[in-house]
């Protein structure tokens, strides 16, 4: 089988034809991947920002067709079209039953704990549990969310991470109220979907911040009312919020300094949401005084606080009704052979998302 392998931190991906995939075992399904988006978390896994066992096949934003089901799987069948969830909700633990299935750890991250991939007899881990940069993958059945057959795989794949994370951070984590002011730091594949989510939620002002002019153009196209480089932010915030700060600020980069900027751009009593995935050893400082006196809420957001079993369908309905643009997120397409150039395009700020077409 063909797939892209990361051997050591800092390497580029090696496209191989001789990957072997075992399974599905009981409770698992085997999926032929049709399309996979390229998310910044894959890059963070490759450069060591996010710790991950190696070697691995990265990719965690994918959609495809079920080609085999393991023993005991009753709600999926061969031929079903699915979006892959990188957090499979077990549906039975206290976290799932308590309404936070995005934090379920009962099944690990997909098949991460029990690798199904091999390369010349060496065990290969599934990146973020899903390994969507390969022709086929094996995941827990609860990581495969069935979707209607008429949804194109390219747009479906993006729901698997960037769209769910971005829109979900707004509508699930922050629960933005109509008429609010919102500021978004980082307008990449996830941040653009925070902007789309804020528009859907009825935000009155949406201020987008990015270093790259092209990203600011895209931000306006997807619903930002203001789009500026960081040096222009304080003047814009003074104009938009009268210097009070925004009701909600979203950090979608994963760096201490931009988390701090998002906090500073939040009004007293407002909400700061950290979506960006930063390093485990990176520290952000807040004074003891400001934490209480500002009465700001500081919220983390994992996978858009989603219940993927219902939220993937909610997003598809927003797309069908014309309120969520998924086609417009795809700036670039290529086969698996173009995977390293796809990461270069992300690093150079040239794309919202690249979609890797596998089948």
Nearest distance from C-beta of residue 94 to ligand NAD, angstroms: 21
The two three-digit tokens of residue 32, written as one number: 């032929």
Nearest distance from C-beta of residue 112 to Zn ion, angstroms: 15
The Cα 85–Cα 101 span in angstroms is: 11
Comparison of 207 and 324: residue with beta carbon closer to Zn ion: 324
CB–CB of 295/167 below 8 Å? no
| Stretch of residues binding ligand NAD (CB under 6 A), selected from 51-59, 135-143, 238-246, 252-260 | 252-260
| Stretch of residues binding ligand NAD (CB under 6 A), selected from 132-140, 152-160, 295-303, 335-343 | 295-303
In the set 6, 46, 237, 253, which binds ligand NAD (CB under 6 A)? 253
Using the rule CB under 6 A, is 41 a contact of ligand NAD?
yes
Nearest distance from C-beta of residue 128 to Zn ion, angstroms: 7
Phi, psi of 241 (to 5 degrees): -115, 10
In the set 277, 318, 324, 355, which binds ligand NAD (CB under 6 A)? 277
Burial of 120 (0-12, 13-18, 19+ CB in 10 A): exposed
CB–CB of 202/178 below 8 Å? yes
In the set 9, 211, 282, 297, which binds ligand NAD (CB under 6 A)? 211
Comparison of 19 and 38: residue with beta carbon closer to ligand NAD: 38
Comparison of 46 and 201: residue with beta carbon closer to ligand NAD: 46
The Cα 357–Cα 19 span in angstroms is: 18
Using the rule CB under 6 A, is 58 a contact of ligand NAD?
no
Q: Tokens 């091999």 identify what position?
A: 118
Q: Where are the beta strands (DSSP E) in the chain?
A: 3-5, 14-16, 19-21, 28-37, 56-57, 61-69, 81-84, 117-119, 122-126, 136-140, 144-147, 181-185, 205-209, 226-228, 246-251, 266-274, 297-300, 330-334, 353-357
Nearest distance from C-beta of residue 258 to ligand NAD, angstroms: 5
Strand partners, 356: 36, 334
Using the rule CB under 5 A, is 272 a contact of Zn ion?
no
Strands 266-274 and 297-300: parallel
String marking each residue 29-68 x if it binds Zn ion according to CB under 5 A: ----------x-x---------------------------
Using the rule CB under 6 A, is 212 a contact of ligand NAD?
yes
Going from the C-alpha of 350 to that of each of 33, 138, 215, 289, 332, the distances in angstroms are 25, 32, 8, 41, 9
| Stretch of residues binding ligand NAD (CB under 6 A), selected from 104-112, 219-227, 250-258, 328-336 | 250-258
Using the rule CB under 6 A, is 349 a contact of ligand NAD?
yes
Comparison of 142 and 301: residue with beta carbon closer to ligand NAD: 301
Using the rule CB under 6 A, is 210 a contact of ligand NAD?
yes
The Cα 346–Cα 351 span in angstroms is: 6
Q: How many residues bind Zn ion (CB under 5 A)?
A: 3
3-state secondary structure of 288: helix
Q: How do the residues of the chain divide into helix, strand and coil, expressed in percent and rounded to 5?
A: 35, 25, 40
Tell which residue, 273, 256, 274, 267, has the closest CA to residue 294: 267
Residue 308: contacted member of ligand NAD, Zn ion, none (CB under 5 to 8 Å, by partner type):
none
In the set 141, 161, 174, 308, which binds Zn ion (CB under 5 A)? 161
Residue 275: contacted member of Zn ion, ligand NAD, none (CB under 5 to 8 Å, by partner type):
ligand NAD
Which of positions 180-199 make contact with ligand NAD (CB under 6 A)?
185-191
CB–CB of 164/311 below 8 Å? yes
Instruction: Name the residues that contact ligand NAD, by CB under 6 A.
Output: 39-41, 44, 161-162, 165, 185-191, 209-212, 215, 230, 252-254, 258, 275-277, 301-303, 346, 349
Instruction: Name the residues that contact Zn ion, by CB under 5 A.
Output: 39, 41, 161
């Amino acid at each position: 089988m063909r797939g892209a392998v990361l051997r050591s931190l800092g390497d580029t991906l090696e496209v191989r034809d001789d990957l072997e995939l075992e399974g599905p075992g009981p409770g698992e399904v085997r999926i032929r991947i049709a399309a996979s988006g390229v998310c910044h978390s894959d890059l963070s896994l490759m450069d060591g920002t996010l710790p991950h066992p190696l070697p691995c096949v990265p990719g965690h934003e994918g959609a495809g067709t079920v080609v085999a089901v393991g023993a005991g799987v009753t709600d999926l069948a061969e031929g079903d079209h699915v979006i892959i969830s990188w957090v499979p909700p077990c549906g039975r633990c206290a976290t799932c039953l308590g309404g936070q299935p995005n934090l379920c750890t009962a099944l690990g991250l997909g098949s991460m704990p029990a690798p199904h991939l091999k390369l010349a007899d060496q065990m290969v881990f599934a990146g973020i549990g899903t390994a969507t940069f390969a022709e086929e993958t094996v995941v827990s059945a609860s990581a495969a969310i069935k979707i209607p057959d008429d949804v194109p795989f390219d747009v479906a794949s993006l729901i698997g991470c960037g769209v769910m994370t971005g829109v979900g951070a707004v509508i699930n984590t922050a629960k933005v109220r109509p008429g609010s002011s919102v500021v978004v730091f980082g307008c990449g594949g996830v941040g653009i979907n925070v902007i789309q989510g804020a528009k859907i939620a009825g935000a009155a002002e949406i201020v987008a911040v990015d270093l790259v002019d092209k990203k600011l153009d895209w931000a306006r196209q997807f619903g930002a009312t203001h789009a500026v480089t960081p040096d222009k932010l304080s003047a814009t915030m003074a104009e938009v919020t009268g210097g009070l700060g925004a009701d909600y600020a979203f950090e979608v980069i994963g760096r201490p300094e931009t988390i701090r900027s998002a906090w500073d751009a939040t009004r007293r009593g407002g909400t700061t949401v950290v979506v960006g995935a930063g390093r485990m050893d990176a520290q952000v400082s807040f004074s003891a005084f400001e934490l209480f006196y500002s009465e700001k809420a500081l919220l983390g957001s994992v996978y858009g606080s989603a219940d993927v079993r219902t939220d993937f369908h909610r997003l598809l309905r927003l797309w069908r009704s014309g309120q969520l643009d998924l086609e417009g997120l795809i700036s670039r397409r290529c086969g698996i052979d173009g995977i390293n150039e796809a990461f270069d395009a992300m690093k150079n700020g040239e794309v919202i998302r690249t979609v890797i077409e596998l089948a």
